[in-house]
Amino acid sequence: MSKSLPLVVAITGASGAPYAIKLLEALLHARRTMWLIVSEHGRRLLSTETDIPDVDALKARLGSKGWDEHVTLFDDSDRGASPASGSAKSSGMVVCPCSMGTLSAIAAGSSRSLIERAADVALKERRKLVLVPRETPLSAVHLQNMLRVTRAGAVVLPAAPGFYRRPASIGDLVSFVVARVLDQLDVEHQMARRWSSGARPAGS
């Protein structure tokens, strides 16, 4: 799928708003066109975890110029919006963070909201769908739903930061996860150094 097509980005109510903000910043830096959907619980999450009370504040945080050039905002209750149709081409979708309720609905194909319908479209059109859940511990129901969406073609990428890079801040932990998300979306970035085993080139 062409990288010039819009990427659907959804924010739901699982804890992890800093991941969403960092992802949006990185996508804007990469000049990627986005169709953004924020659920009602996602808006509450932004307010609780990042002191961003509404979408206007989110726009101000990310920068009005980049937002106006690259972001189109859709209401999660509008199931007739562009992301709800397979004929409206996109380069895929990411849900970050992804609540277990949203993951369950995607696994069941219930499409009760625009986010859920857009994810359903991504699956049926065989487009990339990346889900970033943040929950612990995981119940058997959670695990079964993750297996169902994986078998349907989605990538389940838990918000589980690694420590082998010796992170020095919360920001480093957030960047670790977002870098993995960007890799799945084929978005170039300099957010994290690539792992090297330390092996020497042949003949050195």
How far apart are the C-alpha atoms of 71 and 48, rounded to whole Å?
23
How far apart are the C-alpha atoms of 162 and 177, rounded to whole Å?
8
pLDDT of 156-194, one tens digit each? 999 999 998 899 999 999 999 999 999 999 999 988 777
Q: Is residue 202 part of a domain?
A: no
What integer pLDDT is reported at residue 194 of this predicted model? 73
Mean of the per-residue pLDDT values of the chain: 94
Q: Is residue 195 part of a domain?
A: no
Percent of the chain at pLDDT above 70? 95
pLDDT of 18-56, one tens digit each? 999 999 999 999 999 999 999 999 999 999 999 999 999
Give, rounded to a whole angstrom, the gap between the first and last alpha carbons of the chain: 41
Q: Is residue 196 part of a domain?
A: no
Query: Model's pTM, two decimal places?
Result: 0.93
More confident residue, 194 or 66: 66
131 contacts 93 by C-beta, under 8 angstroms: no
Q: Is residue 54 part of a domain?
A: yes
Residue 128 belongs to what domain range? 7-184
Average pLDDT value for residue range 119-127: 98
What integer pLDDT is reported at residue 199 of this predicted model? 59
What integer pLDDT is reported at residue 165 of this predicted model? 84
Q: Is residue 193 part of a domain?
A: no
Amino acid sitting at position 141 = V
More confident residue, 3 or 81: 81
What integer pLDDT is reported at residue 149 of this predicted model? 98
Q: Supply the CATH number for residue 86's domain.
A: 3.40.50.1950
Q: Is residue 119 part of a domain?
A: yes
Q: Is residue 57 part of a domain?
A: yes
* Residue 130 to residues 36, 59, 114, 178, 198, Cα–Cα distance (Å): 15, 23, 16, 12, 31
What integer pLDDT is reported at residue 5 of this predicted model? 96
More confident residue, 67 or 190: 67
Q: Is residue 199 part of a domain?
A: no
Into how many domains does the chain fold? 1
